[in-house]
Chains A and B, each alone.
Chain A
């Protein structure tokens, strides 16, 4: 099972929006609405930002939103802030024998 494909980097100025894509296949992203997104700061554990494609856990700002079309999921960060810098990973359920496939990761830089 290959990792989901994400762009290595994305950037934007404060206040702008950035969208990160997560491309899988009809066996994972395209088959299930179990896509989640995680933010990771250097030396820290990942933090859940979006689950089940577009749901936001309590405490996560509504600047973060998720969507999916076909085999590609997306995370959009609106109104970029300095604290949004970090690495972002998507994850998708891929069937009963491969529960979780992660993405390759995207480094977000606030210019």
Chain B
């Protein structure tokens, strides 16, 4: 069965870089049609898609955060890493990683399995 789990710091200071790791099992990120995405949710607010990495190492970022985000994968370790630079208190949120299926032309079809999420607080 597919499982994902996020890990990383619970507290970061403003201007620091956040590094989050998503460890997964039950699928291979080298299989065609598969991807992993990162989504965040500020306390009491809506979900927001951040970044996505395809099985073939193609990457996509939210246009509004593109300059601050980097997503990478280590297929041998079953890990996906997200870094977000220049953290600000407004970035305080629960960060989720999720398994995704991709359509024939690279369309994001669905986030079908989610990790439990990790709360990151940005404060000095």
Contacts and interface: CB of A to CB of B under 8 A. Distances in A.
B112 A99 contact: no
Interface string A71-94: 000000000000000000101010
- Which range holds the interface residue count of chain B? 20 to 34
Interface stretch (B17-25, B72-80, B81-89, B100-108): B100-108
A48 interface: yes
Contact of B108 (A89, A100, A103): A100
A57 B112 contact: yes
B37 to A, nearest CB: 7
Nearest to A3: B46
A111 interface: no
Contacts of A45: 96, 114-117
B109 interface: yes
Given A34-B103, A45-B117, A102 B110 contact: no
Given A45-B115, A101-B49, A32 B107 contact: yes
Contacts of B49: 91, 99-102
Nearest to A103: B46
A22 to B, nearest CB: 12
Interface string A25-61: 0000000101010100000011110011000010000
A98 interface: yes
Nearest to B37: A100
A105 B46 contact: yes
Interface of B: 37, 39, 46-49, 52, 60, 62-64, 96, 103, 106-117
12 contacts: A1-B64, A3-B46, A34-B110, A38-B47, A45-B96, A48-B112, A52-B110, A98-B62, A99-B37, A99-B52, A99-B107, A100-B52
CB-based closest 5 A-B pairs: A100-B49, A51-B110, A99-B108, A45-B114, A102-B47
